[in-house]
Amino acid sequence: MIHLVGPQQRHIYRDYLESMFELRYATFIVERGWDLPNDGRTEIDQFDHDDAIYALSIDINANRPKVDGCFRYIDTSARHMMPEIFPHLCSGGSPHGPDLGEWSRLAVDMAKRSPGQASRIFRNISLALVELAMLRGHTKIIFVADEEAAARTSMIWPGLERLGPTYESNGEMISAWSLKISLETLRFSRNLNKRTGPILIQLTNPDDLALWIDTEKARSKVGNDDHRVVA
């Protein structure tokens, strides 16, 4: 399952959000060499505000709260990256409105990037993205990606639309993209993941999180990887 963390859940996931910011630092500052605000341990920017929503893949086998995959999601009616950082990537102006969301800061733990693990985590959080967009009532997602990431993403979702020209940034060639969200997108993503129900889980108190972790540990010991819906 992928954990959905909005403003009301942040107190439950405080340690996991800290791990997420550490993962972002390791991914974008250390590994990719991006010039982003950081404190030498975590990567947090001006778009990690109260309206930001996070999706977290939790490593249940770690000896401390640890996130091994994540992304950030922001309604474009709130402050978001595209019009402030990347307006030059959108030929017709940066899209925004009540039916659009912005996806950013996708990261997967380097230690989990063996072919099987990386693809599983990426597929899981990609499905979570579609489910989240539909929960928010959005019909499109906008995001910025380099050519390699866009090619990989097109294998998950056919029909990506480029929004403008390609530019060099931090040594990478990047473009802005949009993805149409529909029931067809959801069915395609679930079929790819061999799931029949939701992958997102939204908890309401710390005891539920502790119970979920204990349950998942017990389930993994018996090799039970079922796909039941978790309310």
Q: Which residue has the higher pLDDT, 151 or 190?
A: 190
Across 189-207, average pLDDT: 90
Q: How far apart are CA 56 and CA 210, in angstroms?
A: 15
Q: Where are the alpha helices (DSSP H) in the chain?
A: 14-24, 81-85, 115-135, 147-156, 183-193, 206-221
Q: How far apart are CA 106 and CA 219, in angstroms?
A: 27
Q: Are 142 and 100 in contact (CB under 8 A)?
A: yes
Structural domains in the chain (count) = 1
Across 183-203, average pLDDT: 91
Average pLDDT value for the chain: 89
Task: Please indicate, yes or no, if residue 226 is contained in any of the structural domains.
Answer: no
Across 189-194, average pLDDT: 88
pLDDT at 222: 63
Q: How far apart are CA 135 and CA 82, in angstroms?
A: 22
Nearest to 147 by CA among 162, 158, 159: 162
Q: How far apart are CA 133 and CA 39, in angstroms?
A: 31
pLDDT at 117: 58
Q: How far apart are CA 171 and CA 225, in angstroms?
A: 40
- Which domain, by its residues, includes 148? 2-221
Q: Which residue in the block uniquely carries the two structure tokens 């969301």?
A: 101
Give 109's pLDDT tier (boundaries 50, 70, 90): very high
Supply the CATH number for residue 174's domain.
3.40.630.30
Q: Which residue has the higher pLDDT, 153 or 6?
A: 6
Across 142-155, average pLDDT: 84
Q: How far apart are CA 134 and CA 4, in angstroms?
A: 13
pLDDT at 115: 64
User: Judging by beta carbons within 10 Å of its beta carbon (0-12, 13-18, 19+), is residue 96 exposed, middle or buried?
Assistant: middle
Give residue-wise pLDDT tens across range 124-146: 999 999 999 999 999 999 999 98
- Residues in Cβ contact with 214 at an 8 Å cutoff, skipping those fewer than 6 apart: none
Task: Please indicate, yes or no, if residue 82 is contained in any of the structural domains.
Answer: yes
Q: Which residue has the higher pLDDT, 29 or 150?
A: 29
Give 228's pLDDT tier (boundaries 50, 70, 90): very low
pLDDT at 230: 28
Q: How far apart are CA 101 and CA 191, in angstroms?
A: 23
pLDDT at 118: 55
Task: Please indicate, yes or no, if residue 230 is contained in any of the structural domains.
Answer: no
Task: Please indicate, yes or no, if residue 30 is contained in any of the structural domains.
Answer: yes
pLDDT at 26: 96
Q: Check pLDDT > 90 for residue 148.
A: no
Give 160's pLDDT tier (boundaries 50, 70, 90): confident
Q: How far apart are CA 101 and CA 163, in angstroms?
A: 15
Task: Please indicate, yes or no, if residue 78 is contained in any of the structural domains.
Answer: yes
Least confident residue range of 41-45, 104-108, 120-124 = 120-124
Task: Please indicate, yes or no, if residue 231 is contained in any of the structural domains.
Answer: no
Give 116's pLDDT tier (boundaries 50, 70, 90): low
Q: What share of the chain is helix, strand, coil (3-state, %, to 5)?
A: 40, 25, 40
pLDDT at 227: 38
